[in-house]
Amino acid sequence: MTALEPTKLDRPRTARDRSAADAKAAKSVTAKLRRAEFGDRLRSLALAAPLLVLLALSFGIPIVLLLSRAVYDPTIADALPQTSQALRGWNGAGLPGDAAFLALAADLRDNQAMGTAYELAKSLNARVPGARSQVLKTVRQLEAADRPPLEVMKAVPFWSAPGTWPVIESGTHSVTSFYLLSALDLHWNADGGIERVPPQQAIFLQVFMRTFFVAAAVTLATLILGFPLAYLIASVPKGLAAILIVAVLLPFWTSILVRTAAWTVLLQKFGLVNDLLLWLGIADDRLDLMYSRIGLIIAMTHIQLPFTLLPIYSVMRTIPPSQMKAAYSLGAKPFTAFRRVYLPQVFPGVMAGCLLTFILCLGYYITPALIGGASDQLISNFIANYVNVELNWEMAAALSFILLVFTLALFGIFARILGLDRLKLV
């Protein structure tokens, strides 16, 4: 190994002992080596490049594009060019002048002519509930053209309502904080400050709280179930430990969908869990476990248990049993020895397992979709719903943004205090 180690030549000490000619030769060798090593680095980078480029295209760009939709929504600005122009000097108080009404009427007619009126109505509706029908109604009346446009506009109360024009004005700016604030149940009030939306419109904080609650409950449950089992596996002889670890790995290797499917079978009204509860006398009657919060938490706990257990086990395995014996022989009671000697050492493993499970729980989608009821849907389900059903990409993007911030922040904590090599995949 040392014979081939080139870096020794770098040391000036070797050169100093020799004649000037030798020193010169050594220098040129060093320079050559550096150049060669630089070439190696470049070749290494070239090896990594294809995957990095592919990941950037298939994963990086899609996510950046999605997140950008949360703050960039040109639909209204594109649809209402004349209105944007007319509103430029408006101070935002009260109603704008008649010029703005006329510009809006002209824009609406243009949209109708180009067939984009529905698109605009939908986009406005996302910001002002009920705007869709008002826009479409106004467009129809403008098209009828039996009255002057200004009269039509003034006759529809929606266009003179206090909340309408500020929203149109904010919509004419393509960059918007509207959706991100909405995702946190906040909005701009008339005075330009940020405040909570009225309780009947607030939905997302509750969903985020629910997601955190479910994640915390599952993390706690996996810790309570997993910690003693990890301890047992780390303490028994090797052969028995291998059998026990297989019991942990078999469910770990089964896909989340298959395990969720198994739980939908188990949690049925006449399923095995209800049979067991009746037999044990815990429940007097068959419970509705499907589409319930408790059913969801049970299934997620089953899926996440190995994720919590394995990091704890990998730390426990490294703690020699003699330490606890030493503590006993020094007079420590079992609980004291556990608390003062064992627990501080396994704590990094506990943190790693719990953080991993918590992070993964925040992104659960399949299991809540299949086992949770309407009031047990987590944030991922709302994101999917905004894409699939409501076709509101901006809201989906804003919720993704917030979820991603939480996830990456926790992952950052994980990487910071525990190191990425704890994230063992095998």
Partner 1 sequence: MLLSPYPTTGERIRITLLWLWCGMVILFLLVPILVPVPLSFNSGAFFIFPLEGISTRWYAVVLGTQRWQSAIGNSLIVAFGTTLIATTLGTLTAIALSDEKLPGRRIVMPLLLSPLIVPVVITAVGSYLFYARVGLASTYAGIILAHTALASPFVVVTVGASLTGFDRNLMRAAAISGAKPITSFFRVMLPLILPGVLSGAAFAFVTSFDEVVVVQFLASANQRTMPLEMFIGLREKLSPAITAAATLMMGLSIILLVVANLLARRSRRRPSASE
Residue 74 CB, nearest approach to partner 1 (Å): 15
Q: Which of residues 281-310 bind partner 1 (CB under 8 A)?
A: 302, 305-306
Question: Which residue's CB is nearer to partner 1, number 201 or number 336?
Answer: 336
- DSSP calls for 105-149: HHHHHHHHHHT-HHHHHHHHHHHSTTHHHHHHHHHHHHHH-SS-H
8 A C-beta contact, residue 171 and residue 186: no
**Given the complex with partner 1, which of 16 and 238 has the nearer CB atom?**
238
Task: Tell me which residues in 172-231 interact with partner 1 (CB under 8 A).
Answer: 225-226, 228-229, 231
Residue 328 binds partner 1, judged by CB under 8 A: yes
Q: Closest CB to partner 1 among 293 and 422?
A: 422
- Residue 186 bridge partners (DSSP): 196
Residue 111 CB, shortest distance to partner 1, in Å, is: 23
Q: Which is nearer to partner 1, 161 or 229 (CB)?
A: 229
Residues shown for the chain: 426
* Least distance from partner 1 to the Cβ atom of residue 203, Å: 18
The least distance separating partner 1 from the CB of residue 132, rounded to whole angstroms, comes to 23
The region of 88-96, 106-114, 183-191, 408-416 touching partner 1 under the rule CB under 8 A is 408-416
- Using CB under 8 A as the binding rule, the residues of this chain from 103 to 162 that contact partner 1 are none
Alpha-carbon distance of 185 to 130, in angstroms, equals: 18
Contact 234, 241 (CB under 8 A): yes
The least distance separating partner 1 from the CB of residue 40, rounded to whole angstroms, comes to 7
Q: Contact 188/128 with Cβ under 8 angstroms?
A: no
Total of residues contacting partner 1 (CB under 8 A) = 91
* 186 backbone dihedrals φ, ψ, rounded to 5°: -120, 160
Which of 85, 291, 407, 418 contacts partner 1 by CB under 8 A?
Answer: 407
* Distance set, CA 155 to CA 90, 137, 141 (Å): 22, 11, 10
| Contact between residue 406 and residue 295 where contact means Cβ atoms under 8 Å apart | no
CB of 93 to partner 1, least distance (A): 38
Q: Which is nearer to partner 1, 81 or 251 (CB)?
A: 251
| Cross-strand bridge partners of residue 175 | 72
187 in helix, strand or coil? strand
Q: Report the alpha-carbon distance of residue 259 to residue 305 in Å, rounded.
A: 12
Candidate list 25, 150, 203, 423; residue touching partner 1; CB under 8 A: 423
Interface segment toward partner 1; rule CB under 8 A; list 180-188, 195-203, 311-319, 376-384: 376-384
Contact string (CB under 8 A) for partner 1, positions 21-60, x = contact: ----------------x--xx-xxxxxx-xxx-xx-xxx-
Residues 244-283 that bind partner 1 (CB under 8 A): 244, 247-251, 253-266, 268, 270-272, 275
- CA distances to 203, 285, 305, 365, 422 from 293, rounded to whole Å, are 18, 18, 18, 14, 31
Nearest by Cα to 66 from 361, 399, 369, 362 = 399
Residues 8 and 33: their CA atoms lie apart, in Å, by 11
- Return the number of the residue (49 or 175) whose C-beta is nearest partner 1: 49
Options 29, 63, 93, 194; binder of partner 1; rule CB under 8 A:
63
Q: Which of 29, 36, 236, 242 binds partner 1 (CB under 8 A)?
A: 236
